[in-house]
């Protein structure tokens, strides 16, 4: 059972974290762009050789590894925040259902 207090907490969490959810999504998107740029830069800077050799160089370049780690951290933050958002939304949905059931009873 979801209490009125818990529903109120869920509502306030959603109200107070909407901008944060957007920011974490934007950070995730930005880090994706930056990791693609890092790969392209590393590919261009790779020593002459086959395309496969240049791709291997780019994939193991330290800037690419750093960009990948930043992207993974951004995805983790966004997905964690989004999961919390979904849980709070479910809490409100359950509370509304319970309130409707009580009114019918």
pLDDT in tens, 58-73: 999 999 999 999 999 9
* Burial (0-12, 13-18, 19+ Cβ within 10 Å), 11: middle
Task: Give yes or no for residue 82 having a pLDDT over 90.
Answer: yes
pLDDT in tens, 12-64: 999 999 999 999 999 999 999 999 999 999 999 999 999 999 999 999 999 99
| Residue 65 confidence (pLDDT) | 98
* 10 within 8 A of 91, measured Cβ to Cβ: yes
Task: Give yes or no for residue 105 having a pLDDT over 80.
Answer: no
List of residues 6+ apart from 42 with CB closer than 8 A: 57, 58, 61, 63, 64
Boundaries of every domain in the chain: 4-104
């Amino acid at each position: 059972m979801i209490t009125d207090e818990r529903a109120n907490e869920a509502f306030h969490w959603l109200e107070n974290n909407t901008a944060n959810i957007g920011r974490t999504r934007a950070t995730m998107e930005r880090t994706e762009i930056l990791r693609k740029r890092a790969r392209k830069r590393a590919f261009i800077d790779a020593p002459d050789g086959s395309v496969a050799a240049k791709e291997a160089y780019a994939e193991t370049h330290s800037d690419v590894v750093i960009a990948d780690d930043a992207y993974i951290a951004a995805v983790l933050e966004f997905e964690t925040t989004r999961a919390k958002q979904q849980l709070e939304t479910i809490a409100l949905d359950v509370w509304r259902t319970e309130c409707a059931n009580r009114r019918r009873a």
